[in-house]
Structure 1
């Protein structure tokens, strides 16, 4: 979009927050870059230059605006809508792959050369993978500086910098302030680390806000997560969805609650280096980088969906923080009720999950990894024989690397691979594509709730006819499913009291 100068100028002049994260405005006269909704008086068009990423602005020598804080804007919805190389690379960079494995590791995961990835990212985003990862480190550093009382040396390494000097230079270049000045100017003072738990301060806990594009209807989002929560791994407590997180360096616990204009997020991390990954996965879980206006505008073109969209606009797709975990849970939920699926998953967690300590609630385990489950005796699983075969085949393929369910996944190819596994039909493959892989166009025409809603709305209810009718809903059919599900009186459609 950044190449459409006239459209970008209109967005800046109208301070349209819907375009935050789509592009960034660099101001030649001041040397700063802003989000489109920056509250200051817009500069003259001849003094504006538009960039597709914060990293490109930084590489061009611009510093972040202190007023609108463009580094805190929602991410571009493009990376969740697309499955091409650039989108998959951006999802991996957000998940910290460059910091952990370097550009060669990023290239290996994507199956391309480092040169090809560099060239494509620069062509579309104006910056290469190292610059994009550096911009993410700067955002993490700012968050830790402003919301914790940690020493700067700890912040530097927690944010992923290789040295304190690099940390100081980057913060000064990006924000035109030293780390100490950035902390001093935080007003009013932000919440610090270690909020109180049942037994005193909680080590490593952070409180922050997750921004999103309005509108957002939280009912189905948090209702679904709460209604399907696996005891020990997830819970609804004190108005928040809480769950354990398996992260690269240690485990963590997150509490997420809807608030006007943002999602309140409290993270308790065993290792602060996991902060950017944890934030990225929580945003992905809640689908916070979606473009609800574009989605709803498309779905409103169907007269049957328009009243549902108008009643509760901005529905998101509840996703997952761990694609492998969700795939296992999808198999456990085949042809059984929500309650039965939770029971099966809870037994698996109790018997094979890794214990964790939760000083604030009732979380007890991490969900067992595919590597652990791959070695189970089939007779130890309280499941029908065919379901055992399906489950064990899945986890063994995940464990040995012949099946990947990550940010780098090619959606159509992965769906084909899933359908080739024993016991995998279209519903299982498509629900994994929708919630684990993040495919916004995944569709569930065989789902009982979807077919019941279709009949209620006067739509075709047979899978083939409904799929044909839903063709104009592309590429947002996963969101159409959320609106269809909303017609049912089911706990997934409301936040627990």
Structure 2
């Protein structure tokens, strides 16, 4: 109410209330004021929103921070000892967020700037997904330990770091096929720096100049001459971008990508795991998973369902 000029009804819905009447009743009960009366106490509307997003522990922020740092795209993302931030586009609305971890309070203090605050509710939901704040991790770890018959594989607090949307996840996966994390990161950096939209950062955030992940249209229209890679890989990138451009609804389901030449199960499943936060993806053909499993010859990943994505990250953590 203090930070935006959003209609009170939209604020109520963004806060999780199903009706304005229920919102008003709770507001008056807690603060002895109506939302309208509270808003009249201030006439200032800041461009930046500040929200507290809580989670249930455990949460190993250090491991998530290391994972994200290894794949960080400067300008698109920023990271520090206790924060992660990035730019994004949601339904053609540009925005940025920076999430500051407050471990003692089991929450993130999140600063959000948006061109249009009407998309605030889904943006907040996606930030929660990217940081995996809604996972019942105690239950997940308990189930994995029971299913596998051992707790030697389980590191407490390991979450699933998400990617903002499934298209970006798919593009990162294609660029990362059969190469190292560092090599894949460098290709994504080249893609974003060359084709991503640039914008001066007017907010005090994670970087001075913001880059946005390239749209399917921008990638589809490029000849990708800046990439030093086989033409077959460039053609896969172009086909994928054209598919996302021309069939945006179908492109939201990675299973539909398998009809595109150059995209196989690993790419689609990686995008499901990080772009959609599917909790039950096991990357059986991933080289890191195969390497980690060498110490567990009798391992049966099927027993880890429906939490095989968490198992995948647990195995990566052992490398």
Matched, 1:172 2:172: no
Give how far 1:428 is off: 1.3
1:338-384 deviation digits (Å, cap 9, x = unpaired): 22112111111111111122243424210001122112225454332
Check the 8 A contact 1:157/1:273 in 2, yes or no.
Answer: no
User: Structure 1 residue 157: deviation in Å?
Assistant: 7.2
Structure-2 change in CA distance of 1:280 and 1:224 (3 Å) = same
Q: Which residue does 2:16 correspond to in 1?
A: none
**Partner in structure 2 of residue 205 of structure 1:** 48
Measured in 2, the distance between the counterparts of 1:485 and 1:369 equals: 30
Q: How far, CA to CA, are the matches of 2:49 and 2:215 in structure 1?
A: 26
Shift of 1:182: 5.7
Indicate the structure (1 or 2) with the bigger Cα radius of gyration: 1
Task: Give the C-alpha shift of residue 425 in structure 1.
Answer: 2.3
**How far has the Cα of 1:434 moved from its partner?**
0.9
- 1:155–1:181 CA distance, 2 compared to 1 (3 A): same
* Aligned equivalents of 2:280, 2:20: Cα separation in 1: 43
CA distance in 2, matches of 1:288, 1:308: 22
Measure the CA separation in 1 of the matches of 2:249 and 2:7: 36
1:348 lines up with 2:196 in the alignment: no
Measure, in 2, the Cα distance between the counterparts of 1:158 and 1:248. 17
1:278 equivalent to 2:123? Answer yes
- Superposed, 1:179-190 pairs within 5 Å as 179-180=35-36
Cα 1:447–1:239 change in 2 (3 A) is: same
Output the CA distance in 1 between the equivalents of 2:44 and 2:171.
Answer: 34
Match of residue 263 from structure 1: 108
Give structure 2 stretches of 5+ with no counterpart: 14-18
Q: TM-score, normalised by structure 2?
A: 0.85
Task: Tell which deviates more after alignment, 445-454 or 473-482.
Answer: 445-454
Counterpart mapping for 1:443-482 below 5 A: 443-456=282-295, 458-460=296-298, 469-482=300-313
Change (3 A) 1:376 1:304: farther
Residue by residue, what CA displacement relative to the aligned partner does 1:104-141 show, whole Å, maximum 9, x if unpaired?
Answer: xxxxxxxxxxxxxxxxxxxxxxxxxxxxxxxxxxxxxx
Q: State yes or no: 1:425 paired with 2:268.
A: no
User: What is the alpha-carbon distance in structure 2 between the residues aligned to residue 236 and residue 402 of structure 1?
Assistant: 30
Q: Partner residue of 2:273?
A: 434
Match of 2:232 among 377, 386, 406: 386
Q: 1:299 aligns with which of 144, 167, 170?
A: 144
Take 1:288 and 1:377, find their aligned partners in 2: how far apart are those partners? 39
> What is the number of equivalent residue pairs in this alignment?
305
Q: Secondary structure at the match of 2:160?
A: coil
1:239 is aligned to 82
- Structure 1: how far apart are the matches of 2:49 and 2:223? 40
Deviation at residue 270 of structure 1 after TM alignment: 2.3
Shift of 1:238: 5.7
8 Å contact from structure 2 (residues 48, 112) kept in 1:
yes
Inter-partner Cα distance in structure 2 for 1:274 and 1:285: 17
What CA deviation, in whole Å up to 9, does each residue of 1:1-23 have, x standing for no partner?
xxxxxxxxxxxxxxxxxxxxxxx
Q: After the TM superposition, which residues 399-418 of structure 1 pair with which residues of structure 2 at under 5 Å, given as runs?
A: 399-401=245-247, 404-406=250-252, 409=253, 414-415=254-255, 417-418=256-257
Q: Which residue of 1 aligns with 2:213?
A: 367
Of structures 1 and 2, the one with the larger relative CO (CA 8 A, separation 6+) is: 2
Asked whether the 8 Å contact 1:249–1:273 carries over to 2, the reply is no
Verify the 8 A CA contact 1:440 1:478 in the aligned structure 2: yes
* Matches of 2:44 and 2:229, distance apart in 1: 44
* 3-state SS, counterpart of residue 256 of structure 1: strand
Moved over 4 A (4+): 167-170, 180-185, 302-305
1:250 corresponds to? 93
Answering whether residue 162 of structure 2 is matched by residue 323 of structure 1, we say no
C-alpha change, 1:216 and 1:237, in structure 2 (3 Å) is closer
In 2, the alpha carbon distance for the partners of 1:168 and 1:444 equals 45
Distance verdict in 2 for CA 1:168–1:446, change over 3 Å: closer
Contact 2:53-2:110 at 8 Å conserved across structures = yes
